[in-house]
Structure 1
Amino acid sequence: SIQVVTLWYRPPDVLFGAKLYNTSIDMWSAGCIFAEISNAGRPLFPGADVDDELRRIFKLLGTPSDDSWPGVSQLPDYKPMQMYHPSTTFSQVVPHLCHSGRDLLQRLLVCNPAGRLDATHALSHSYFSHSDSSD
């Protein structure tokens, strides 16, 4: 069902109507929540509807193509969208998050679900073993 995740935490694959998905959708949501916590409760992608949500995501991450995400154009609700090239950096979006935290966030918020960190790799990321959060 397309209603599996609250809109603001829904990954692009689900927004494009993917019927088969796995725990990678949870990792996307975890990334959105991690960013929100790092920004004193300000949501990362507070879209008004599916199209607005996709625009907000692509403005930060860039619009995916079949080169960067093989098969994206075959998803049930895929529609060509304006091509965005990332013009904002994660350091601008989550300025109070340390470097290793931004790296973790970038690895969770990957449009192609096959490229997202899984929970095991996320939990072994250097962010969780680093004692100095000022990097």
Structure 2
Amino acid sequence: MEYFYGENFPPDIREFCRILGTPCEENWKGVSQLPDYKPSFPQWKDNKLRQSVKNLDENGFDLLQKMLIYDPAYRISSKAIINHPYFDDLNKNVLPAAIIKSVD
């Protein structure tokens, strides 16, 4: 995915927030108490993820959306990721046992 390059920290965070909306207490309880939280940071409210990844099918978009939830308490787990319908076509029998065991 070419949306979040990781080259320049502040511009990347702004781009991430432009697409997903800026983290706030509504979507991440306690975010305003984090040490680097800046209330002066630009506030984008709308989630524009769907418009940004038009080439993903519904299962792919659903998985991506669940992986990009700000609040880690609500973000999808690795076990749920491997069992997500997006990977239904993947033959899990050929995956190394260590991978499967590590997400159980």
TM-score by length of 1: 0.58
For the aligned residue pairs, the C-alpha RMSD in angstroms reads 1.9
- Tell me the amino acid that sits aligned with residue 61 of structure 2: R
Instruction: State yes or no: 1:64 paired with 2:23.
Output: yes
Question: How many aligned positions are there?
Answer: 89
Structure 1 runs (4+) deviating above 3 angstroms are none
- Share of identical aligned residues, percent? 37
Aligned partners of 1:79, 1:120: CA distance in 2, in Å? 33
1:41-56 to structure 2, matched below 5 A, reads 43-46=2-5, 48-56=7-15
Instruction: State yes or no: 1:84 paired with 2:36.
Output: no
Q: Which consecutive unaligned segments of at least 5 residues does structure 1 have?
A: 1-35, 37-42
CA shift for structure 1 position 95: 2.1
Equivalent of 1:106 in 34, 40, 65 = 65
Higher relative contact order (CA 8 A, sep 6+): 1
Instruction: State yes or no: 1:126 paired with 2:85.
Output: yes
- Radius of gyration: which is bigger? 2
Change in 2 beyond 3 A, CA 1:127/1:112: same
CA shift for structure 1 position 126: 0.8
